[in-house]
Amino acid sequence: MKKKNVFLFIMLILMLFSTINVYAASCTDTFSPKFMDMLRNNVFKPIKIVAPILLLVFTSLDFAKAVFSDNKDGINKAMSRFLKRAVATLVIFFAPNIIELILSFINTRNMNACLNGF
């Protein structure tokens, strides 16, 4: 199942960026400022808001189940799940920054090619 999800994610990324020509012949940014603003506001910002909220909700539910069941092993499992979710949330939270950095490098490389005459 994981391989299928990874494959679908890669295909989605390829479909989103397949129309963008990295080696554009014109001396403009590969990714327009309008596109970058749309990406920041409609994709990255909701991810940065929803990921921590989901971490808090799922962690609260896990600990509530463990406390109300009076199971000492359940609290340890809840703590283990919390740590895994916290790491995943950090990765998800900082992924948009890394993606934006990579996209800015692509824009810079395109502008450098224009300045150097391709």
pTM over 0.85, yes/no = no
pLDDT at position 72: 79
Mean pLDDT of 91-117: 75
Cα separation of 85 and 50, whole Å?
Answer: 13
| pLDDT at residue 54 is higher than 60 | yes
Out of 2-6, 42-46, 74-78, 82-86, which region has the weakest mean confidence (pLDDT)?
2-6
Angle CA(58)–CA(62)–CA(64) in degrees, nearest 5?
115
Start-end of H helices in the chain: 2-17, 33-39, 45-68, 72-115
